[in-house]
Amino acid sequence: MNLNQLLPTAALLSVLTVVSGCSPRVEVAVPNEPITINLNVKIEHEILVKVDREIDDLLSENSDIF
Amino acid sequence: MTKLRKILTVFALAFSLFSVPAWAISMDDAKAKGLIGEQVNGYLGYVKSPSSSVRAMVEAINNKRRAAYNKGAKNAGVERNVFEIRMGQRLQDRVPPGQYIQLQNGNWQRK
């Protein structure tokens, strides 16, 4: 029952894999990467903005030690 | 009269002892003279091997900085070393031409 239901999907998937493997369009996986990179940059940028804000405060309040 | 003058002289001398600034040399003077400079880690460092007064001044300032960085890092929600690295960049950017910054490899460079 279960196996019967899975079988067409599995067949389809394997065919797709083979087909996409044969096709010259290797770019299929590429769109995933820029998204992760952008996320990382965004997080780092937010942290940097927070840190920079604190640094601005320090610089204006403690001119004697900087 | 001479006695009064003597007393006044003693007083003047005594006062001159107290009026000596907290540091024999100020941070700005030491920077301008090329004795100290900004390191990459957000703290002052010695360009030349320091006299005891320069060393005392730098250590006191670096301790104050460390306390300030602790506070700033806590407010920003980051580790102190993250804060220090960014602070190092910011402080080195501010260094005016003619003064020294320490590069990642430990060498001092005159801006």
Nearest to A65 among B61, B83, B94 (CB): B61
Nearest to A50 among B69, B77, B94 (CB): B77
Compute the CA torsion angle B35, B40, A57, B99 (nearest 10 deg).
30
Is A51 within 8 Å of B86 when comparing Cβ atoms? yes
DSSP state of A26: G
In chain A, the residue whose alpha carbon lies closest to the alpha carbon of B27 is: A65
Q: How far is CA B85 from CA A29, B80, B102, in A?
A: 35, 9, 13
Among B67, B76, B46, B47, smallest CA distance to B58 is for: B46
- Phi first, then psi, for residue B104 (nearest 5°) are -55, -35
The 10s digit of each residue's pLDDT in A6-40 is 667 666 666 555 555 555 555 655 555 555 555 55
pLDDT at residue number B25: 86
Between B4 and B61, name the one with better pLDDT: B61
Contacts B82 to A, Cβ<8 Å? 47, 51
The 10s digit of each residue's pLDDT in B4-34 is 677 666 655 555 555 555 567 899 999 999 9
* Whether residue B63 has pLDDT greater than 60: yes
